[in-house]
Structure 1
Amino acid sequence: MTAPWLSVLVPVYNVQDYLEECLASVIEQAGEGVEILVLDDASTDGSRALMDALAARWPGRLRLMHHAANQGLSAARNTLIDAARGDYLWFLDSDDKLLPGALAGLHAVVREHAPDAVLCDFVVWRERPRWKHRLRGESHRATFAGAAGGPSTDRAALLAGLLMTGQLHAWSKVTRRALWGADLRFPPGRYFEDMATMPLALLRARSHCYAPVPWVAYRQRGSSILSTMTLPKALDQSRALTAFAQALAAAEAAGRLPASPGLHFALAHQSARCLVGAMRFVQNAALPEAERRAAAEQVRADFAAHSPLDVRALARAYARRGWWLRAAKLLRATA
């Protein structure tokens, strides 16, 4: 049997209201050579029954999998990676959907260039969009600050362009399955798992293409991580880039990747986003004073561990770019 060129990986947990629309968006455009893996992570609503019904409606189109007990998003994605047979992997959250033409656009890029990674843009999908959302650019969000098209073999530019936008989610990056060796998986039990994992995967990419076209509709829900922040989430955000910073330093020390000031600034910039976001919760949450101080010290230590620039150097770099508000937020968060 010929291996599929693409595996679309869909983890499912309590998304009964959204799952059919998600899977239909893939089925409607998935031709030969696309496998669709759907894993129920022990849902407590009707998601699993709906999966079975949809598989019966679309015979032979879905590969269904199940976890006996809930293990979380990272573990679900890891199980899907292990089961996938496609040359490329595309993670799709089960409350989102692929936009028309997404798979055709991806296939065209893969046929012509065969890159290790393909990056795409997205739209923010709201049930009641307002004019202010359009003014924020939610009808087309860019995920990469770099040249469109490709292919490019400049890994520093790939990583810098990724970190500068801060759009580190897995579902806007299609990667070769070969990048996911046995040593690279999503961290079970942690929040901000995409930020912790996708830069590591792309550090291994020898070539990439960027399609500045929205291929994914990201559903904005009130239960998102940032809208329901807790101390464990804040600390996971704070340390999300630590493993990548260590891997990047090792690659530069071994000569596998030339040191790049642009990449170093981009990593410091994303590290500052993590610092400011985590510190905002720590400073404003109703925490015992001793716990607040310990958390603030940990957040500052995490920044120092993975930012190539210290706070003062990054604030000066912001000022040179005229980013006065960013400089002020950074200094206020570390005061």
Structure 2
Amino acid sequence: MNPAQSTPSSGTNPWLSILIPVYNVEAYLGECMNSVLSQELNGVEILLLDDASSDGSAQLMEALAAQSPHPLRLLRHERNRGLSAARNSLLEASQGAYLWFLDSDDLLMPGALAALAGQIRELQSPDLVLVDFRVLRERERLKHRLRGELHRRTFAGPPAQRLQDRGALLEGVFRQGLLHSWSKIAKREIWGSDLRFPEGRYFEDMYTTPELLLRCRSYSHLPRVCVAYRQREGSILASMNTRKVQDMMGALVGLPQRLRAAGVHHEGGEQALAQYAARTFVTACRFAQRSRELSDKARSHLLRDYRADFERSSPLAPQQLLRACWRRGWFWRGLRLAHWLRQAGTHFTG
């Protein structure tokens, strides 16, 4: 569907659905919606779903809808069901040809929708468009700028081209290590009737994004900052616990087998996935080491579990991955991985 030709008033389905799950974000929702409503919204539908907030988010949604010059579709869960369920309900209710999930404390950057529509039109409607983002902090410091937080690339590959190599897509995404759904705008048909966010789990994007990538026959990277991602104290990464780490480690289990089943054989993609799985494993092990709630026995058991999940998530065996690190000169990365593999009870040579 041509983004420039689809309008709500024309009787056709919108070219884009912006899907915004809402839960206890009264302090941020107004700014988020201002960033959305200031865009070029011709042919765009906007859906918000309140997941039984306990603050004034639901009332603010209604007030915003009453004042908005652009129609807002409001949905509500009678009880709190979590982010995955909220996104799934929004997906089911949406009508757009493309779907863009936006967290309700984040912002769309000026001109983001016009740039997205232009790239979709110019590249003959690829199945997926990956967009870049910036990090939004309450206190932005020089070190954050030096880290490149004003422009974070989500894809390591050619920009502004229509591409079709799924292996290169996996490599480009896993090399950057950014699997969040809000930087990936996909056609509704790619989600289909079966790909949904896992309810009751954290790190839900790590479960869905790899499957979404495998289904895409064409894709493009829009090298523009389109989203301002708000880094908050209460985010998943800022409040890790054992359950969250277990969900993180379990997200990619079995992915190497699914790659082979999908006919994806790509050395670069396998290397990038293996390195990503290794970083996730090291993160989990460091959490277990620092946790004061774990006994030595429980910590040892968790490390073994993390190692098993890592080995089922990586296309490369531990020894293969270590050799790849030595060949590429990634000595610190290899030493760190070898250390945690030994701590988790792995015995190997070489």
- Residue 290 of structure 2 is aligned to residue 290 of structure 1: no
1:274 match: 280
> Offset of 1:10 from its aligned partner?
0.3
2:25 partner letter:
V
Relative to structure 1, the CA distance from residue 8 to residue 275 in structure 2 (aligned partners, 3 Å threshold; closer, same or farther) is: same
1:205 match: 216
- Residue 266 of structure 2 is aligned to residue 260 of structure 1: yes
- Residue 51 of structure 2 is aligned to residue 45 of structure 1: no
Q: How does 1:158-177 map to 2 (within 5 A)?
A: 158-177=169-188
> Offset of 1:290 from its aligned partner?
2.5
1:116 match: 127
Q: Deviations over 1:116-165 (max 9, x none)?
A: 00001100011210111101111111111111111001111011100111
> Offset of 1:297 from its aligned partner?
1.1
Residue aligned with 2:73, SS: strand
Question: % of aligned pairs identical?
Answer: 54
1:192 partner letter:
F
- Residue 341 of structure 2 is aligned to residue 334 of structure 1: yes
Residue aligned with 1:17, SS: helix
> Offset of 1:331 from its aligned partner?
1.1
1:294 partner letter:
H
- 2:29 pairs with one of 19, 32, 49: 19
Q: Deviations over 1:175-219 (max 9, x none)?
A: 001011222101111111111111111110000010111100001
- Residue 189 of structure 2 is aligned to residue 178 of structure 1: yes
1:237 partner letter:
M
RMSD over aligned CA atoms reads 1.1
2:297 partner letter:
A
1:42 partner letter:
A
1:6 partner letter:
L
Q: Deviations over 1:211-247 (max 9, x none)?
A: 1111000011111212111001111111111253332
1:309 match: 316
2:158 match: 147
Task: For 2:313 and 2:255, locate their aligned partners in 1 and report how far apart those are by CA, in whole Å.
Answer: 8
2:321 partner letter:
L
1:76 match: 86
State the TM-score, normalizing by the size of structure 2.
0.92
1:223 partner letter:
G
1:263 partner letter:
G
Is the Cα–Cα contact under 8 Å of residues 214 and 262 in structure 2 kept in the other structure?
no
1:35 match: 45
- 1:104 pairs with one of 110, 114, 117: 114
Task: For 1:246 and 1:235, locate their aligned partners in 2 and report how far apart those are by CA, in whole Å.
Answer: 20
- 1:323 pairs with one of 327, 330, 339: 330
> Offset of 1:60 from its aligned partner?
4.9
State the TM-score, normalizing by the size of structure 1.
0.96
- 1:93 pairs with one of 103, 106, 119: 103
Higher alpha-carbon deviation: 158-167 or 57-66: 57-66
Q: Deviations over 1:8-63 (max 9, x none)?
A: 00000000000011111111114221000000000000000000000000155210
2:65 match: 55
Task: For 1:4 and 1:332, locate their aligned partners in 2 and report how far apart those are by CA, in whole Å.
Answer: 52
> Offset of 1:289 from its aligned partner?
2.4
Structure 1 stretches (4+) deviating beyond 6 angstroms?
Answer: none
Residue aligned with 1:304, SS: helix
2:227 match: 216
Task: For 1:78 and 1:173, locate their aligned partners in 2 and report how far apart those are by CA, in whole Å.
Answer: 16
Which stretches in structure 1 are left out of the alignment for 5+ residues?
Answer: none
Task: For 1:246 and 1:66, locate their aligned partners in 2 and report how far apart those are by CA, in whole Å.
Answer: 38
1:279 partner letter:
C
Which stretches in structure 2 are left out of the alignment for 5+ residues?
Answer: 1-10, 343-350
- Count of residue pairs brought into register by the alignment: 330
